[in-house]
Structure 1
Amino acid sequence: MSDQTVVDTENAITEEQVTKYLRKHPDFFVKQPGLLADLRLPHESGQAISLVERQVSILRERNMDMRHRLSKLLDNARDNDRLFDKTKRLVLALLEGKTLTDTIDSLFYSFDNEFKIHYTTLILFGDRAALSAGKARVEPLSKARESIAQVLKNSRPQCGTLSAEETRYLFPDFADSVGSVALVPLIHGNTFGVLAIANRDPGYYRSSMGTLFLSYIGEVLNRQLPQYLPR
């Protein structure tokens, strides 16, 4: 009897085998209606429910999950549409600028009023006496290299937190309020400036986030601003 028990245990069908079989034969219970009627599954309420009822419940949950996913996709699509519209208006305004001040004013207006960016800084490298740039700051490149040398070494957009010295240089009036920063050096042959935006939330601009928008605006400025700068 003991030997027979060992044999039966060794040859017992596992749950995994049953699962594989049922997946390969989804019509199994169609051919076994009596067995299907006898199956009962525990329910959260404590009452037993039939397999069919359980299947209906699972399908209902999946349907709700799919609706939530679809709703999220639609929300993202609407957000992208709004972002595209605002970006289009900004780019057209930058292209229509007749002077350096016009172009810079359009940039700050859009960032402040449409994109609701907390802090914006545009720094152009050059001689303050020879360049009037409206809301943009004009600083010697040598001074910038003293404070944001690492920033200027990378020509690509950057996101995240900066050192205290870098933050003070970029946002001198708001350094204590800046949590995170996104920036892009402006380059036309040589580096002629830097565009930086900041948020009070330290996690708002993260190193892992996309920089397509900022990169795109930077490319437009790279083509528009140099025509107004002293050669």
Structure 2
Amino acid sequence: MIESTAAARLSDTPSPAPAAEHVVAFLNAHPDFLSRHVAGQLRETLEGVLNDNPALLADLDLPHPPSGIASLPHVQLRLWRERLARLERTIGELHDTAESNARLDCNMHEFARALLASGTRTPEQLKKIIHDHFAVDAIRLQPLAELSAEQIAPLQGWLDSHTPLCGRLSDAQRRVLFDADFPETGSAALIALQPHPKTTLILVLGRHAPDGFNPGQGTLFLEQIGQLAETFLGVPENA
């Protein structure tokens, strides 16, 4: 009670200020007063700031405990910061993927419009429209019936799956589909088309970049290109 009364006099007494000897006497009697008083004021101030700006804690540097002593709050803060950094990276990657998909979706829309507007429905016209709308360095439309059993063998596993294949081609696949016109380091996408019963075509899209067609990118858009191309070639001209 005596301490609190003295503290009140020190902190709240209006002018004139207490005499210096009274301050000295009080501090001599209570040497921990300033540390406790300042710590309490600082805590209240920080709590108010952090309540209004909780994100500040993520970047706030806190004093470390003495060497050799583990501070659980510091460990927890470090773990939360690492988790936040991972989440921010993930969000950034998702944002980039969403933007890329949005651009590709627009290309797909324009590609479909061009197919619908075309009065010529030939393999050459299909390849031209693909070139106009997608970044490809080479396009082949190979009738399966024109390949020998020996040539089909390197493609058999893919043909059985009915799923577009994308990535690096084996040397045997590259020779069958591109002869010597495509670099070994390039990547390709293979899409099977069946515009008419008993007619199978292999649509081959090639990029010189090794990761131009990457298996990790998925095959949804390749499947859509194949469906549109298949319908385009399956409809007679001037129909």
**Paired residue for 2:108?**
87
* Conserved? CA contact 1:167–1:175, under 8 Å: yes
Change (3 A) 1:209 1:66: closer
| CA deviation after TM superposition for structure 1 residue 158, in Å | 2.3
**Paired residue for 2:235?**
227
* Conserved? CA contact 1:97–1:103, under 8 Å: no
**Paired residue for 2:84?**
63
The one of 87, 94, 117 equivalent to 2:136 is 117
The one of 81, 92, 97 equivalent to 1:76 is 97
More strand by share: 1
Tell me the TM-score normalised to structure 1 length.
0.58
* Conserved? CA contact 1:167–1:178, under 8 Å: no
**Paired residue for 1:148?**
152
**Paired residue for 1:182?**
189
Summarize deviations over 1:163-200 as a string: whole Å, max 9, x none. 43431232135234453332012113223421012234
**Paired residue for 1:194?**
202
* Conserved? CA contact 2:112–2:228, under 8 Å: yes
| CA deviation after TM superposition for structure 1 residue 206, in Å | 5.6
Work out the percentage of aligned pairs sharing the same amino acid.
28
* Conserved? CA contact 2:171–2:184, under 8 Å: no
In the alignment, structure 2 segments of 5+ residues that lack a partner are: 1-63
Measure the CA separation in 1 of the matches of 2:190 and 2:86.
38
**Paired residue for 1:104?**
127
Summarize deviations over 1:82-115 as a string: whole Å, max 9, x none. 111112111221222110254432122223xxxx
Measure the CA separation in 1 of the matches of 2:85 and 2:138.
40
**Paired residue for 1:159?**
166
SS at the partner of 2:93?
A: helix
| CA deviation after TM superposition for structure 1 residue 205, in Å | 4.2
Work out which of the two has the higher radius of gyration on C-alpha atoms and give 1 or 2. 2
**Paired residue for 1:131?**
none
In the alignment, structure 1 segments of 5+ residues that lack a partner are: 1-42, 126-139
* Conserved? CA contact 1:157–1:184, under 8 Å: yes
Aligned-pair Cα RMSD in Å: 3.4
RCO greater where, 1 or 2, for CA within 8 Å and sep 6 or more?
A: 2
Count matched residues.
169
